[in-house]
Chain A
Amino acid sequence: MKKNFLLCLRPCLLRLLCACAALALCSSVNSLQAAPGVGPVLLSNNDSTRAVAVESVTLKSEPFTPNQIVPFSADNRTRIIIFAMNLDTIAGEGVNAFSADAEAVVNGATTRYTLNVEYMSPVPGFEGITEFIVRLNDQMPADMGDVLIRLNLHGMASNRVRVAIGHVGGGPTDDQGAVPTPAPQTPPAPIPAPAQNPYTDPALAAGGDGVRFLEQATWGPTSSDLAHVRSVGFRAYLNEQFAAAPVGSTNYPTLNLFPTDTEVGCSATDYPVLAERTMCFRDNYSMYPLQIMFFQNARNGQDQLRQRVAYALHKILIVSGRDLNNQPAWVAPYLQVFDRNAFGNFRQILMDVTLNPGMGEYLDMRGNSRVSPNENYAREILQLFSVGVDSLNADGTPKLDANGNRISTYDQATITNFARVFTGWNLSPNKTWTNPKTGATAPVPNYIDSMALSNNTSTYDTASKTLLNGQVLPAITAGQDLRQYKTAELNAAIDNIFNNPNTGPFIAKALISQLVTSNPSPAYVQRVAAAFNDNGAGVRGDMKAAITAILLDPESRGDVKSDPNYGHLREPVLLTTNLLRAFNATTDGNISNNGTRFGLLLDMGQDLFNPPTVFSYFPADYQVPGTSALFGPEFGILSTTTTFKRANFINALVLANSGNGFLPITPPIAGNPASSDRPTGTKIDYSAYQAMAGNPAQLVDALNQLLMHGTMSQAMKNSIVTNVTNVTNANPDWRAQTAIYLIASSSQYQVQR
């Protein structure tokens, strides 16, 4: 309602702004040049950082009240107009490419508020200057004094300008180095918005963006990968990765199914030596074999992008080993689904996951019957795997009704109807387990092949169902084959979900969050969703198109991202793989320094392939404490304890054992077969940096480029150089290790931008 009201006022408002702008914006002697990759410039007064800002309806100047005395809008909240230049937009981008925030001091504490950017328009007569209407946050107190407002575009932050709420004065101090940014004396010409860069030019990878790209598209940059991407460019690198296959047919080979009963599979009779029996449990009743494979693949595999995307998908469509009897053989086929389809079509992913026996076990579709059908899978495939609970606009923002409330994508009846579709399916016929010790055989449940329709046709629900958007699947007709009916019905239900308008923006946002940034702009989501909806050849759900759109977007690319909320915290797995690859580690894949099976990873709060809930290792909608609407999923497992554990992990990898990393645990003992399969250690190679130890500044600079794509703050650099210099030059290895440890344990590194 507010927006419409403002639109009604638009001609009048713009006329007034012309006069206002002529007086307020053209009195400066400064000249600002539009420059891409710099970020927007918010305009201020001539002699201070105080914003040129007016209330959006009355055009009154500050101080502003959070609520209007006269209710100009249904929510009665104040909107203000601010002005900006140097907008590096691309063709077709509008207001949903921008975000804004305000920093305030409330009761002595620094507080950040998200501001909705509701409207943008060139100022008539000054088309090189753009006005933005931002809505004051509902949580803002009435009288908070000055706040610092920032505008963000493509991950680039503007300067921050002061705006008074309640009264003038107080609030945060200006940013270091902040200067007045008045409009230039000669009004700037409008900057034509170019078409989106295709990112075919290898020169675009020459700077820090080469490293950033590999942080998003791989398990971490290596010097050889960096040289390669800088040689061929981003787009060619992606195309190479799309063609890269795992070693063998899959990154997760099918494992031997063992009996459900651990006392049968690893009986004391068959394994009288405790160490051997323990190893039997480890290899057949824990995620250990898959975890080992994962880190070996991540460190050494050439199909890096496939692995990253498959990993991202496994965090969206969740199965947890802890609910699959801890049997790796039950989980491997589930991981194969993503390995196989990471560059395929999302519809196939939905179908394969639906019939995956591990998923059938995890969310109870296996054995589901028309008598009181279990709703778990129906609920989660809708809520978490595809469409989400709220109807979405094309840019991933929620649709609102006339009262400003979100609109549900589905209701309980829809869930019930989907649950009835998901009836009649069960495990394929049993497999045979051969006891490796005795050669005896026994039947075991088949958690390898896709689920099949049960022979018990009484479990089939064959009545009519109403699905998303009211689509009706008809009841079975007289004489129709039951199996054909249920198969066709399942396909129709998957199509119903896959083709829902929500699926594109929902999956786009989820993948962006995994690969690039926790808080993408709606415009970014919209571009990726558009690629998901149509790959340019009329194909919907093409994962390659969606991934390309994610990684070659102006919001993902660029040498530097200055928006503080850009990027994401490196989750423990990513923290680990990045360091292993950056320093060419040799590893057996066991992230442990004491043989306790991934003890260090567990310490940091991430139990690989054993997510604690169907919401994954951390919830996708986790908001950073003390903020409004700032998502930071990975912070969901960052506590005081795990903060220390991260530092301890880096210490163990870099500093402990005189820099030798995780040492081998107990060398093989003659006559004890179990002792031959102990962790063989993990060690990083920092020899290239040892050679620079005589020049600490050069050493830190090199690490800054490798680990932080050159974004280390000067203060951090100075501090680390000083500390490294304090280490005797006679000990170059310790200098290199100290520098690596200090950088890797810093939050400037751990928040990946």
Chain B
Amino acid sequence: MKCVRPGKSLVQRGDYAHESFVYGPRWIPFEDSQTFILDSTSKTLTPEWATMLYFEMSQGIVGRPSKQVAQSASTKFQGTRFGNPR
């Protein structure tokens, strides 16, 4: 998976298009503790992303996950947390 640059890939927890379309616009602030970032160093997902994805897949919200992403999510590997954007 091609990853985005560190510190520049804030995505909102719970604020996903499926959920937004079904239940209405959602927004959960991305303070540090809730910030999900793709790790551009290890080319993998941070644990928070993995947890979220695992939840989404288990709920059937997101279908057809790639094998790579599914493995990443299920193993909840460690990644690097980045702080706020510069």
Q: Which residue of B lies closest to A651 (CB)?
A: B4
| Inter-chain contact A626/B27, CB cutoff 8 Å | no
**A644 and B1 contacting across the interface, CB-CB below 8 Å:** yes
Q: Is the CB of B21 within 8 A of A751?
A: yes
Task: Say whether B8 contacts A727, CB under 8 Å.
Answer: no
Does chain B have a CB within 8 A of A610? no
Chain B residues within an 8 Å CB radius of A640: 53, 56-57, 62, 64-66, 69-70, 73
Query: What number of B residues sit within 8 Å (CB to CB) of A?
Result: 44
Interchain CB contact under 8 A, A726 and B85:
yes
Bound Cα distance A584, B17 (Å):
26
Contact check: which of B5, B21, B38 meets A644 at CB < 8 Å?
A: B38
What CA separation (Å) do A632 and B24 show in the bound complex?
14
Which residues of chain A in 707-753 are interfacial with respect to chain B, using CB atoms and an 8 Å cutoff?
711, 713, 715-716, 718-719, 722-723, 726-728, 731, 734, 738, 741-742, 745-748, 750-751
- Decide yes or no whether A569 CB sits under 8 A from chain B: yes
**A627 CB contact (under 8 Å) in B11, B22, B29, B70:** B22
Q: A625 vs B19: C-alpha distance in the bound complex, in angstroms?
A: 10
In the complex the two chains form, is A564's CB within 8 Å of B63's CB?
no
Q: Is the CB of B65 within 8 A of A651?
A: no
Residue of A nearest to B3 (CB): A648
Give B23 Cβ to nearest chain A Cβ, in Å.
Answer: 6
Q: A564-B25, A727-B85 are in contact. Are A647 and B15 (CB under 8 A)?
A: no
Given contacts A625-B61, A639-B66, contact A751 B10 (CB under 8 A): no
A641 at the interface (CB under 8 A from B): yes
- Chain A residues with Cβ under 8 A from B18's Cβ? 624-625, 632, 635, 638
Within 8 A of A (CB), among B31-86: 38, 53, 56-57, 59-66, 69-70, 73, 84-86
- CB of B23 within 8 A of CB of A112, answer yes
| A641 engages B8 (CB within 8 Å) | no
Please indicate the chain A residues that have their CB under 8 angstroms from the CB of B10 in the complex.
723, 741-742, 745
Q: Does A643 contact B (CB under 8 A)?
A: yes
Note all chain B residues with C-beta closer than 8 A to A643. 16-17, 62
* Chain A contacts for B23, CB-based, 8 A: 103, 110, 112, 564
Q: How far is the CA of A501 from the CA of B70 in the complex (A)?
A: 47
**Looking at the complex, which one of B8, B66, B69 makes contact with A741 (CB distance below 8 Å)?**
B8
How far apart are the CA atoms of A632 and B63 in the complex, in Å? Answer: 13
The distance in angstroms between the C-alpha atoms of A567 and B59, with both chains bound, is 23
The answer for the CA separation of A625 and B26 in the assembled complex, in Å, is 18
A715 touches which one: B5, B19, B29 (CB < 8 A)? B29
| A109 touches B (CB below 8 Å) | yes
| A723: B residues at CB distance < 8 A | 10, 30, 84-85
Q: Which residues of B contact A711 (CB under 8 A)?
A: 25
CB pair B63–A625 under 8 Å, yes or no, is: yes
Report the minimal beta-carbon distance from B53 to chain A, rounded to whole angstroms.
Answer: 6
With A635-B18, A638-B18, A643-B17 in contact, is A745–B11 under 8 Å at CB?
Answer: yes
Residues B25 and A734 in contact, CB atoms below 8 Å apart:
no
Q: With a CB–CB cut-off of 8 A, which chain A residues contact B61?
A: 625-626
B56 & A635 in contact (Cβ 8 Å cutoff): no
Residues from chain A with a CB closer than 8 A to the CB of B9 are 647, 651
Nearest chain A residue, comparing its CB with the CB of B14: A747
A587 within 8 A of B: no
Given A638-B17, A639-B66, A747-B26 contact (CB < 8 Å): yes
The docked-state distance in angstroms from the alpha carbon of A459 to that of B80 is 68
A619-657 interface mask toward B, CB cutoff 8 Å, 1 = contact, 0 = none? 000001111001010010011110110011001000110
**Closest Cβ–Cβ distance, residue B16 to chain A (whole Å):** 5
Q: Cα distance A522–B66 when bound, in Å?
A: 37
**What residues on B are CB-neighbors of A632 within 8 Å?**
18, 21
Quick check: B22 and A734 within 8 Å, CB to CB? no
Determine how close the nearest CB of chain A comes to the CB of B8; give it in whole angstroms: 5
- Cα separation A378 to B70 with both chains bound (whole Å): 41
A718 and B29 within 8 A (CB): yes
Does any Cβ of B come within 8 Å of A49's Cβ?
A: no
> What are 24 A-B contacts defined by CB distance under 8 Å?
A109-B59, A564-B23, A565-B22, A624-B18, A625-B61, A625-B62, A627-B22, A635-B18, A639-B64, A640-B62, A641-B64, A643-B17, A644-B69, A651-B4, A651-B8, A656-B5, A713-B27, A719-B27, A726-B84, A726-B85, A738-B85, A742-B10, A747-B19, A750-B17
Which 9 pairs from chain A and chain B are nearest by CB?
A564-B24, A747-B20, A640-B65, A747-B17, A719-B29, A716-B27, A651-B4, A639-B64, A641-B66
